[in-house]
Structure 1
Amino acid sequence: MDVAHLRREYTRGGLHRDDLPVDPLLLFEKWLAQACEAKLPDPTAMSVATVSPEGRPFQRIVLLKHYDAKGFVFYTNLGSRKAQHIAANQHVSLLFPWHNLDRQVHVTGVAEALSPLEVVKYFHSRPKDSQIAAWVSQQSTRISARGLLEAKFMELKQKFANGEVPLPSFWGGYRVNFDSIEFWQGGEHRLHDRFLYSRSGEHWHIDRLAP
């Protein structure tokens, strides 16, 4: 299949420096709200990029579960490949791909483990089946068949049918304490608008980047 000719123009409008707030979270919150209003599928989906101890980059999609001035939060199996990478190198990047709005948000920062209190509070807010599924999968390990997962799920569903699902010791989360956020707005003729917020002490420095 020849993909070289597949392209479209980005015509949804520009991003101007005068429109940028001092705090990048204000713009992120505005864009996220607009992504939700536009009914984009999985507006909180973000790519998390980590680097293995051998220096190989890896990416995967997770869901953003909270954000504030302290950082961006996601949850995962602590035995997963991403968690192993973070244990060796806490520097990660996040990417929110809001294609239908011709937008991307790129975040860099340091991933720090969440407190047990934060983890257990979120874990018990999940649907019960999702709590059970956390027990079933030893994430990133090799398995011979999907049937093994389904059988284990049904076994645990019966076990916890009349009681609370305990928090697995191998399940937790991370907060990405961010030091840069780039906002990308697609533009006609590939003349995109890109603005990079870089942390400078207690303040943010803003640069326009060439597309």
Structure 2
Amino acid sequence: MSEVLQNGAAAPGDDLPEAAKILVAGGFGAGKTTLVSTISEITPFHTEETLTQSGVGVDDLSGVERKEVTTVAMDFGRITVHDRLALFLFGTPGQDRFWFMWDELAAGALCAVVLADTRRLAASFPAVDYFERRGLPFVVAVNCFDGARAYPPETVRRALTLGADVPVLLCDARQRGSVKEVLVRAVEHVLRRETRHAALI
């Protein structure tokens, strides 16, 4: 499957869907909008608004004090992996006052990417908890911000109390190749889960 996604050629006998929906979730300021923009082959759709004084005391800006805009509904982008598979990316809003939209965005999703920021790692817990409750496969991608302390993936796994089967990887949401690897790993994770489930039936 990795070769299919990276080389753009379908192997004989592959039964891939024509389109798959992937959620990109995580805490406020984790880089979700950047990730979607970096990989999208179309002009991405964003619902960003400027942060105003009305958000003071409501939005936690600790660690992201220079952030000036925020997603209030969703981000949307698309990447065609090959002629039989396109990935539609839906970025979720990060602030808890917009979490009521997550159920709508999650409907029909194949899997999710939880984008984590080690400067505000606790902000990743709501997304992790949400996908665990829904039973939706997900990977955790640690966005490596300039100047942020680097931690090995296993340290992040322990901090987020993730199971051994949840992939944790490092990424740079500004780099297309890095984002592509995250999406490859997310789809591979789904296929491995389905293979294990089929073997138990």
TM-score (norm. length: structure 1) = 0.24
Answer 1 or 2: which has greater helix percent.
2
Which structure has the larger Rg over C-alpha atoms?
Answer: 1
Name the structure with the higher strand share.
1
TM-score (normalised: structure 2): 0.25
